[in-house]
């Protein structure tokens, strides 16, 4: 898998539909060539007379649980039987519609890789690179035979460090995935979308989030104890004779690092995390850190501008860096290097990393099959090289045509909602509509494919391939500095089951793999498509107007364009939504963070509201006929709920609540529908039902 440092993100402000890492790995598709009729495209489906993949009209009715009243628990009503009959596979920490599609996508990519290998591709071609990368990754016998000798050079480099300057160089090396309390990566400039900039941020933790170090509850005490034991085991495997003591020192160091980390909800605040600095200013504010050495090793020292995200934390972390003995840093770097590289090092080491990261942290009984992990590794290193073949085999042209229509219908629906809201001033409405009109949809796959010509993949060298891929990615991003931004670039590969909104480019992006049931089915009832992929489109559009996306204008520039009265009215509504979600307690003592999840919850509530409006517009003033006894609105809401059917292990649920801006799946159903008036009418929800909210307490943003 591509090894960027753990603090790095693929894009500073990228907002995905669901967590990019689903607890294990990732997948989707179907092939068709018929074009949509105009009438059916208007209604949100692409063909007439075909059979829906799920049920008779696009919803798996067998998964419903009619014994549950919709108004008490719509999640269980719409998927209770499915949840009772399904089991989470032993190699996963969660299981739902996203995960099932990701499994399918993995299998499809595996087939592509195996079929391509049979053609014996010429050296230097993408086909040779993806197949040799995959084959080397699968060859655990060769990996075990090489042992830690494969990693001798980087381990020796860590062992040879004598000064803090040496440590800073090691933390900066792209071929050493060693983590570190301070990191730097190339990203888009949020106040100047036409340029790239180096972003400096904090990192350095081995546990998922700072709360894992600070929470005094017994379960976290146990996790910390198991973490220290795990660190000691890994260091022992590397020949460290003082492993237990070094493990304790590492835990103590990371605990201090965690003290300086910003709360995760604060790190969402895009205006607070945009702090321009020159190199001289970095050196003045945090003189204890060797900035020239660190940035110079990465090729960034000559830059005139840096963006610091957690500005108040960096000087404190710099002092901690300087106050920590080199010997402790060496043990720390050795551990993090081994952990990040474990999948291409001996299987005993790999198994130890999984035992902690998989079993202890996520409650996952078994590690994923090697071929599945291999698919993820290839996707991470050579995603678009695989994606080009994936699209050629699995992408549905009619899906793109129907999506184009759906996006425009959702755009109309959003415009109608913006124009009708009574809390936004006319001037701000005007700019909001300009931003909506400027939304750029990207559907299916990139207009141009990434070139991997300079990435050398060697047969039989799994560890070396992973290192070279990491260096290639670093150089690929570094080369962007000083060049105009590439607005055609994608930040997800086509075989990814997900979608995202990028506020810096003001774009909504839907990879090919998500354009299939239950999200979209060309032969399903339009209501289901509007509730499924329509809700997804609305969600991504909604990020342009959520509490963070709304801080960018139509051109993607991070700036204030709302009137003060609009900000106040918007905050009044979003505060209510944050309070609603903060009351949810999926596990004893573990409550949803309504501030952390606010942007995603706004996207869900606003997006589904707009999708419903677009569905109504598509009917042209007519009532939808009943199908199997279900009204159009009932089918719409069932389409949304079906997308989020999911099971999750308790440890993984705990981790999600503490680290993920996405609410647990059950609340992406129950927490959303209770704010939509149409849902109450559709399912006859009355006062006294568990999910009932009085009309004045329902959040209506758009």
Q: What angle do CA 37, 41, 47 make, to 5 degrees?
A: 55
CA distance 34 to 29: 16
Question: Contact at 8 Å (CB) between 686 and 692?
Answer: yes
Q: Indicate the pTM of the whole model.
A: 0.92
Q: Phi/psi of residue 230, each to 5°?
A: -65, -45
Backbone phi and psi for residue 209, each to the nearest 5 degrees, phi listed first:
-160, 165
Residue 689 has what DSSP assignment? B
CA 682, distance to chain mean position in Å, is 32
- Answer whether 375's CB lies under 8 Å from 397's CB: no
* Segments of the chain scoring below 70 in pLDDT: 1-13, 20-49
Q: Is the dihedral of CA 70, 71, 74, 80 positive or negative?
A: negative
Contact 275, 307 (CB under 8 A): yes
Query: Do 27 and 104 form a contact (C-beta atoms < 8 A)?
Result: yes
CB-based contact 641:79 (threshold 8 Å): yes
214-244 as b/e: b if 16+ CB within 10 A: ebeeeebeebbeebbebbbbbbbbbebeebb
Residue 9 burial (C-beta neighbours within 10 Å; 0-12, 13-18, 19+): middle
Number of other residues whose CB lies within 10 A of the CB of residue 446: 20
The DSSP secondary structure of 125-174, one letter per residue, reads SHHHHHHHHHHHHH-HHHHHHHGGGGGHHHHHHHHT--SHHHHHHHHH-T
Decide: 598 and 663 in contact? Cβ < 8 Å: no
What one-character DSSP code corresponds to residue 270?
Answer: T
Torsion sign across C-alpha atoms 45, 48, 52, 56: positive
DSSP 438: H
State the pLDDT at residue 25. Answer: 34
Q: Which pLDDT value is given to residue 487?
A: 96
Q: How far is CA 180 from the centre of its chain?
A: 22
Spacing of C-alpha 364 from chain mean position: 20
DSSP 3-state of 511? strand
Closest CA to 612 of 648, 637, 646, 591: 637
Of how many residues is the chain composed? Answer: 702
242: which DSSP letter? Answer: T
Domains within the chain, CATH numbers bracketed: 39-86+395-450+489-697 (3.40.390.10), 146-362 (1.10.1380.10)
Q: Say how far apart CA 470 and CA 306 lie, in whole Å.
A: 22
Strand order in the sheet with 275-277: 182-188, 196-202, 306-308, 275-277
Chain-centre distance for alpha carbon 696:
34
Rounded Cα distance between 153 and 453, Å, is 26
**Helix and strand totals (H; E) in the chain:** 28, 10
Q: Cis peptide leading into 518, omega within 30 of 0?
A: yes
Please state, in angstroms and rounded to a whole number, the distance separating the CA atoms of residues 55 and 532. Answer: 15
DSSP states of 44-110: T-S-SSPPPSSTTTSS-GGG--TTS-TTT-HHHHHHHHHHHH----TT-SEEEHHHHHHHHHHHHHH
- Could you give the residue ranges of the DSSP H alpha helices within 287-346? 291-298, 313-323, 326-341
- The whole-angstrom separation of Cα 304 and Cα 300 is 9
Which of 72, 50, 77 shows the shortest CA–CA distance to 61? Answer: 77
Which three-class secondary structure state does DSSP give residue 289? coil
């Amino acid at each position: 898998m591509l090894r960027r440092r753990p603090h790095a993100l693929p894009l500073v402000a990228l907002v995905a539909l669901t967590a990019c890492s689903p607890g294990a790995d990732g997948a989707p598709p179907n092939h068709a060539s018929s074009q949509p009729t105009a009438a059916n495209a208007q209604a949100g489906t692409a063909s007439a007379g075909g059979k829906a993949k799920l049920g008779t009209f696009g919803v798996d009715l067998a998964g419903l649980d009619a014994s549950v009243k919709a108004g008490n628990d719509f999640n269980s009503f719409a998927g209770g039987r499915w949840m009772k009959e399904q089991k989470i596979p032993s190699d996963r920490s969660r299981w739902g519609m996203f995960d099932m599609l990701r499994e399918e996508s993995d299998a499809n990519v595996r087939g592509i890789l195996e079929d391509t290998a049979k053609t014996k591709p010429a050296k230097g071609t993408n086909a040779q690179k993806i197949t040799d990368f995959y084959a080397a990754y699968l060859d655990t016998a060769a990996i075990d035979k090489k042992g830690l000798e494969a990693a001798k050079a980087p381990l020796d480099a860590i062992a040879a460090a004598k000064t803090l300057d040496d440590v800073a160089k090691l933390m900066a090396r792209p071929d050493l995935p060693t983590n570190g309390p301070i990191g730097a990566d190339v990203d888009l400039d949020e106040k100047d979308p036409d340029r790239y900039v180096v972003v400096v941020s904090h990192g350095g933790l081995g546990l998922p989030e700072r709360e894992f170090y600070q929470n005094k509850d017994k379960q976290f005490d146990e996790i910390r104890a198991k973490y220290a034991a795990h660190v000691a085991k890994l260091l022992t495997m590397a020949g460290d004779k003082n492993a237990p003591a070094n493990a304790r020192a590492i835990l103590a160091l990371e605990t201090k690092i965690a003290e300086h980390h910003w709360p995760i909800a604060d790190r969402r605040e895009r205006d607070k995390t945009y702090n321009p600095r020159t190199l001289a200013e970095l050196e003045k504010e945090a003189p204890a850190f060797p900035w020239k050495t660190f940035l110079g090793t990465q090729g960034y020292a000559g830059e005139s501008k840096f963006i610091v995200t957690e500005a108040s934390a960096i000087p404190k972390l710099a002092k901690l860096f300087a106050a920590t003995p080199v010997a402790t840093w060496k043990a720390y770097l050795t551990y993090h290097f081994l952990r990040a590289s474990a999948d291409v090092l001996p299987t005993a080491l790999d198994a130890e990393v999984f035992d902690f990261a998989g079993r202890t942290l996520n409650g996952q009984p078994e590690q994923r099959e090697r071929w599945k992990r291999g698919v993820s590794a290839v996707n991470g290193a050579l995603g678009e090289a695989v994606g080009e073949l994936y699209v050629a085999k699995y992408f549905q042209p009619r899906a793109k045509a129907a999506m184009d229509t759906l996006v425009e219908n959702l755009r109309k629906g959003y415009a109608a909602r913006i124009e009708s809201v009574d809390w936004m001033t006319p001037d701000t409405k005007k700019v909001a509509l300009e931003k909506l009109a400027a939304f750029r949809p990207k559907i299916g796959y990139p207009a141009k494919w990434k070139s991997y010509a300079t990435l050398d993949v060697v047969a039989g060298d799994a560890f070396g391939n992973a290192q070279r891929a990491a260096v290639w990615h670093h150089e690929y991003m570094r080369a962007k500095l000083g060049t105009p931004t590439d607005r055609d670039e994608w930040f997800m590969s086509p075989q990814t089951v997900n979608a995202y909104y990028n506020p810096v480019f003001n774009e909504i992006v839907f990879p090919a793999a998500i354009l299939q049931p239950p999200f979209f089915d060309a032969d399903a009832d339009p209501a289901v498509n509007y509730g499924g992929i329509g809700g997804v489109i609305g969600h991504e559009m909604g990020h342009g107007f959520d509490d963070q996306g709304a801080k960018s204008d139509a051109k993607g520039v991070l700036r204030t364009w709302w009137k003060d009265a609009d900000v106040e009215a918007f905050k009044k509504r979003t505060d209510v939504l944050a309070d609603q979600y903060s009351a949810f307690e999926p596990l004893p003592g573990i409550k949803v963070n309504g501030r952390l999840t606010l942007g995603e919850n706004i996207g869900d509530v606003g997006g589904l509201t707009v999708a419903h409006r677009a569905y109504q517009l598509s009917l042209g003033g007519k009532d939808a006929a009943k199908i199997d006894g279900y009204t159009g609105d009932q089918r719409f809401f069932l389409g949304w709920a079906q997308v989020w059917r999911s099971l999750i292990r308790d440890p993984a649920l705990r981790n999600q609540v503490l680290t993920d801006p996405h609410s647990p799946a059950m609340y992406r159903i129950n927490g959303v529908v209770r704010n939509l008036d149409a849902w109450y009418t559709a399912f006859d929800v009355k006062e006294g039902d568990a999910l009932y909210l009085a009309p004045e307490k329902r959040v209506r943003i758009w």
